[in-house]
Structure 1
């Protein structure tokens, strides 16, 4: 281009002396056209060089600093356990007539769950009640004084014979039921004791009758008779109460509100003492037992609030408080058992679940909070990049500005920061490329839940 311009100038100089005026004007027009073309080419070259020198905006994402509360938490693992748990069994031997609950059923305290056959016991109760009535009648008759000493002794002897025969009958019946598996050995032993007592009473009555016949001392014989009859009444009354108690034990009821968690019996099964039939567990409220290491004891005590989560129900949190902390380590471990009480109205928590307990270790209120991922460590310590105003003419969202901060409490996601260059509402660069530097132009692709706003710094 410069050569063309020099040629034009030389031509104008040469022809200005030898050429006609018309030709000279043509030469001048040609020279002006060459100059215009040259200026346009220079302008395009300058613009291209300017664009090449301008740095490219780096893609970033931002989040907005806000004021709030941040808590540093201590997370420990434990297991859920029923507040109460009872294995229900029968105190007597007998066939199961009915089972009124299945696994998973909610039951109320006092609700009848199992019935045992009580027909044999009721027959024994009738016999004992008859013996009691007879003893009471003899005692009343003797005390009335209408009988002579000899007659009283004879009546007492007859009563003792009847009592002995009844005791022998009961003993034989229980021995037969034991062979069939319907009564326990303890019932047979009790019948043998009753028969032996009746036999002794019969011998005493026989001796008393002989003495009354020989001495004729009516008063002494009557007093002895009364004492003997009183003992017979007491014995018969005790037998009635004993059988009545056994009949009451044929009905098995829920000891508290809860849920049936095990069932090992069906109708027709022969129940016996010591054999578990149903298990009832109280799951509302429910316990969470957490092992606390020694270094964490300063943060956990009775009344400490705790948030409980279980892996099987992600996103749900139960809120409770520590009820007790054991004063000694759990056997075989170096941890102290902390028991947390949780409401469990919908019974979504079940005994034996693995639970995570989050305890507040430290808390700060009304502080500036930023995402933890936005903080980086530079030559002078912790810092963040904030989104500052872009330079005039820059086709970008703004420029990155490094701001030093002091880090406070932090969680897995957030951190407390302080410093003169950051305040609530400041846009913090969250995700950034490795080549980002202080002053780099940036282009915001997305935000951490709030619209970006350049900080006025």
Structure 2
């Protein structure tokens, strides 16, 4: 019985060992097949990196500021008698905005002018008497001082009366009215804001190392968030002679004619300064760049070592294309194009679509029926 038991156990061990061994062998072959299974070629569009000559530009951010902008105020106290403007009006220098009640001041002016006339007449009489030798020189001088004092008092009252009329100090556009009829104004009370919109300034700053590249008169282009499809052109009107010791930046001011009055004080502006110099660059579409925190890269197309196998129904005989991932250093952007400073040479072909499917040494097929945009100055399709 023990001998039969041993033989049976041996047979069972052989049977089960063969079964498990066969399953292990099959699993190993399946894994080996999937590991070595050729990946299907990814379809990509391509672009040949080309040399270009780009004018040098400096970029900055700035703020739109008015040439003149104030809150028009009353210099004297008084009750508002007339309001001669509407909110948002365009006015000229000297236009009347508000008239204050001035009856008492005008009556006082009449009294002072009467006193001044009397003083002039008395001085004229004393001057004739002095020529006749009837009075002394000191009496004549005393009358002259009285005449001058009364005339000065009348003139001062006239200026006080003029202050009762609030006028626009320069050409510009009014804001929202801040006073009402019958309101009593104290000196310095704001009446309305007034802003000169033509011309207008854009103030911005550049690092001190860029100071040698800019000069007064250089062309400046700005873009505004309020008008994203428009570019406004002006020129540098002033450069601060000193550099800010805290930021090491130099302040610059550009002047814009602003005939359409679209630039308004306080707006955020993206500034581009056109420099007379140019640089040679290698450009590719922005869609060709694989952006990553550890570095930007492109996929460069190369021929594989062997010939492409003839597919069923096809016989192209061309080398199989593969891609090599290459890290690059990027420069400035212009429209849909980006400059590659390092890592790419003119004439090399890069993939511009399907980048998410690519890896190093991946096989690709080229399908350039639909090309990503590579316009240096793109415009909206509905413009």
Q: Call closer, same or farther: CA 1:220–1:443 in 2, change over 3 Å.
A: closer
Q: Call closer, same or farther: CA 1:404–1:239 in 2, change over 3 Å.
A: same
Pairwise CA distance, 1:419: 5.1
Which residue does 1:94 correspond to in 2? 78
Which residue does 1:447 correspond to in 2? 371
More strand, by proportion: 2
CA deviations over 1:28-57 (Å, ceiling 9, x no partner): xxxxxxxxxxxxxxxxxxxxxxxxxx9966
| TM-score, reference length from structure 2 | 0.65
Pairwise CA distance, 1:263: 4.0
Q: Call closer, same or farther: CA 1:70–1:409 in 2, change over 3 Å.
A: farther
SS in structure 1 of the partner of residue 88 of structure 2? coil
Which residue does 1:172 correspond to in 2? none
Q: What is the 5 A alignment of 1:71-150?
A: 71=55, 73-144=57-128
Which residue does 1:293 correspond to in 2? 207
Which residue does 1:355 correspond to in 2? 269
- The CA distance in 1 between the partners of 2:339 and 2:365, in whole Å, is 26
Work out whether residues 67 and 368 of structure 1, in 8 Å CA contact, stay in contact via their aligned partners in 2: yes
| TM-score, reference length from structure 1 | 0.56
Work out whether residues 55 and 277 of structure 2, in 8 Å CA contact, stay in contact via their aligned partners in 1: yes
Which residue does 1:265 correspond to in 2? 179
Q: 1:410 aligns with which of 331, 336, 339?
A: 331
Larger radius of gyration: 1
Report the more deviating stretch, 326-335 or 314-323. 326-335
- The CA distance in 1 between the partners of 2:277 and 2:309, in whole Å, is 41
Pairwise CA distance, 1:252: 2.1
Pairwise CA distance, 1:354: 2.2
More helix, by proportion: 1
Work out whether residues 42 and 363 of structure 2, in 8 Å CA contact, stay in contact via their aligned partners in 1: no
Which residue does 1:59 correspond to in 2? 43
Work out whether residues 326 and 337 of structure 1, in 8 Å CA contact, stay in contact via their aligned partners in 2: yes
Q: Call closer, same or farther: CA 1:338–1:253 in 2, change over 3 Å.
A: same
CA deviations over 1:344-371 (Å, ceiling 9, x no partner): 2222222222222234579646876432
Aligned length: 318
Work out whether residues 174 and 192 of structure 2, in 8 Å CA contact, stay in contact via their aligned partners in 1: yes
- The CA distance in 1 between the partners of 2:73 and 2:316, in whole Å, is 83
Pairwise CA distance, 1:225: 4.8
**Aligned alpha-carbon RMSD (Å):** 4.4
SS in structure 2 of the partner of residue 352 of structure 1? coil
SS in structure 1 of the partner of residue 79 of structure 2? strand
- The CA distance in 2 between the partners of 1:266 and 1:419, in whole Å, is 71
- The CA distance in 1 between the partners of 2:184 and 2:259, in whole Å, is 36
